[in-house]
A and B are shown apart, each in its own frame.
Chain A
């Protein structure tokens, strides 16, 4: 594991894996916005942390100076082989144009409204069956028994891989994202994913189906079948990006509803508020922080950024910026002005955002319809993960 010495000065030595940052990043961002507002650290390499809406969205749009070829918040410390199987990374998220542009076009139709509508029924049935498994007991771990179980199975369905492997997929994704500062664990996750997808893609070379993996393999760009390593990277991306993120948003929303009875009652009683409420929960508890790498020595808003420095795309902090959002730390379910960037900003807008929204809405609809009244179970451990993706990992709740 990397260093864990406590942070003394958030402006010059921040650490997104610090327990204080994971528990309450909001007060740290407030402090930084008022004084800095772009923090720096040399932990895990020279890295910058913008905290305002303006800076985060400006940097996200400045794709010339800020490249997406390194998107991990925690740099990879293992050995990269000379001829890596993921030669092209995991496009489109880890690519700049032109690779980004055409790989993104391959992916987007899979997550269009029309296609996402078709996954709603299975998502709903899945949520119902999960609730059925614990409702009689009067208690549940809303993160591990519910939120964590949903997106991974929906994504497995879309990719066309066995949903019985859901627990293994979840473990690999957590190894890659949540335990990224443990090089051995991270490598284990990457290897697991790569070996699995190489085999799945090979099966489809000889016997293609209609799933996303098969279609990716057969995709042609400018008359040529795409490089199989791109199909591999994109397949891995869909799993990595579609699991931890949405599960964290569902978990955080359930945490909010468990601890804010008035909001919970309103969502139970007022169907009209839902479209705005879902966006407000996404704003207030945005799970995802991405990264960019500086392409040339440059000065940004007085910060001397060097080629190779990282900049963290702090979308969660942008969404709490008081210059853009009135009372940003308050969840206002019917907030009417809400240009939140939970799904990013610019050309890398989350390709799966329609799917994530549907999953969050259906997961909350089914939960609140079966369990309209619930609260945190005192005396049991409640834990949060942070870093690249923030959300509850153990969320013990009780209900009648």
Chain B
């Protein structure tokens, strides 16, 4: 599984960071980005899905 964030959609709700800090980082302004290349280790896939399902801006998606 690989995930990405659309920076034009992210408004800094930081829900992803709260739910999966292993996968996301936030900058000083609160905007999120994926750590590394967005590749999700198997054991964190549930958390990644949770982050996708809780983003109010629909900014996170799975890369097909």
Contact = CB atoms under 8 A, between A and B. Distances in A.
Given A113-B14, A339-B53, A354-B14, A108 B28 contact: yes
A179 B26 CA distance: 37
A112 B58 contact: no
B41 interface: no
B54 interface: yes
A275 B50 CA distance: 11
A349 B11 contact: yes
B13 interface: yes
B54 A111 contact: no
A108 B28 CA distance: 7
Contacts of A354: 14, 30
A344 B59 CA distance: 15
A108 B30 contact: yes
B12 A338 contact: no
A349 B13 contact: yes
Nearest to A346: B11
Question: Majority SS of interface residues in chain B?
Answer: loop
Interface in A332-350: 336-341, 343, 345-347, 349
A345 B11 CA distance: 8
Contacts of A41: none
A105 interface: yes
Interface in A95-113: 105, 108-109, 111-113
B44 interface: no
Contacts of B50: 336
Question: Majority SS of interface residues in chain A?
Answer: helix
B28 A114 contact: yes
B56 A105 contact: no
A339 B55 contact: yes
A279 interface: yes
Contacts of B58: 339
Contacts of A357: 18
A112 B30 contact: yes
A111 B30 contact: yes
B19 interface: yes
A354 B28 CA distance: 12
Interface of A: 57, 105, 108-109, 111-114, 275, 279, 336-341, 343, 345-347, 349, 353-354, 357
Given A112-B29, A339-B55, A345-B57, 9 more contacts: A109-B28, A111-B30, A275-B19, A279-B54, A338-B53, A339-B54, A345-B11, A346-B57, A349-B11
Interface of B: 11-15, 17-19, 26-30, 50, 53-58
The 8 lowest CB-CB distance pairs between A and B, nearest first, are A349-B11, A108-B29, A337-B53, A109-B28, A339-B56, A112-B28, A341-B56, A338-B54
